[in-house]
Amino acid sequence: MDKIIVLNGCVRKEMSRTLSLAKEIIKNFKNANIEWIDIQKLGFQPVDYETYILRSVGKCNPSVIKHAKKVQAADIIILVSPIWEMSVPAMVKTFFENISIPEITFRPVKDTCKGNCKARKMIFITTRGMNVKPYSELDGAAGELKALCSLWGIYEFEEVALNNCDYITPKEYEEAKEKLLKHLEKTNWYQKQ
């Protein structure tokens, strides 16, 4: 049975349309052991000088290590996060900055790094205000997340997005959501993961 780890980076909690979209998608993953991690609740802080020095002598917050190991061991990682400032919110970046640890998520080898993560794929479920294509000049998320996946040894990355959410009516949003959910079902997307 697959272990799926869901990283919830939705700042607006129950108001979040990304979170509610993700819940509707993720409930269709059958026969999987799914664990949700609420990034906001962890309260990780950006790695500062003191944390960096402690890390360099092997001293790390046990919660950070625990979550790095969960990410390392998952079969699929699902990141659930809105787009803020053309990328993911700082809270999400801070989570990754903390848990991307040598000898856990990757390892230095000769003049480069090799990935240590087991996951075959990262799925990025997002909503954004504007209409932006992944990897276009207005998108700072997909390229960065894909690069992080490569560092960790995860070679498949897919974005599942609802765009233009701030500029359509609630009815149009619901229609777009239903269309996306139907498309995933019709194309056997869940079975292909």
Ligand X SMILES: Cc1cc2nc3c(=O)[nH]c(=O)nc-3n(C[C@H](O)[C@H](O)[C@H](O)COP(=O)(O)O)c2cc1C
Rule CB under 6 A: which residues touch ligand X?
Answer: 10, 12, 16-19, 82-86, 127-130, 132, 165-166
Provide the minimum distance between the beta carbon of 175 and ligand X in the complex, in angstroms, as a whole number: 15
Q: Which is nearer to ligand X, 100 or 164 (CB)?
A: 164
Provide the minimum distance between the beta carbon of 61 and ligand X in the complex, in angstroms, as a whole number: 27
Provide the minimum distance between the beta carbon of 157 and ligand X in the complex, in angstroms, as a whole number: 19
Residues in Cβ contact with 166 at an 8 Å cutoff, skipping those fewer than 6 apart: 129, 130
Neighbours of 71 (CB within 10 A): 25
Q: Which is nearer to ligand X, 73 or 168 (CB)?
A: 168
Helix count (H) and strand count (E) of the chain?
8, 7
Q: What is the DSSP letter of 36?
A: E
Q: Which is nearer to ligand X, 83 or 117 (CB)?
A: 83
Provide the minimum distance between the beta carbon of 126 and ligand X in the complex, in angstroms, as a whole number: 8
Whose CA is closest to 68, among 26, 91, 100, 31?
100
Please classify residue 167 by burial: count the beta carbons closer than 10 Å to its beta carbon, then call 0-12 exposed, 13-18 middle and 19+ buried. Answer: exposed
Provide the minimum distance between the beta carbon of 159 and ligand X in the complex, in angstroms, as a whole number: 13
Q: Which is nearer to ligand X, 82 or 115 (CB)?
A: 82
The torsion angles phi and psi of 30, rounded to 5 degrees, stand at: -95, 160
Q: Which is nearer to ligand X, 23 or 118 (CB)?
A: 23
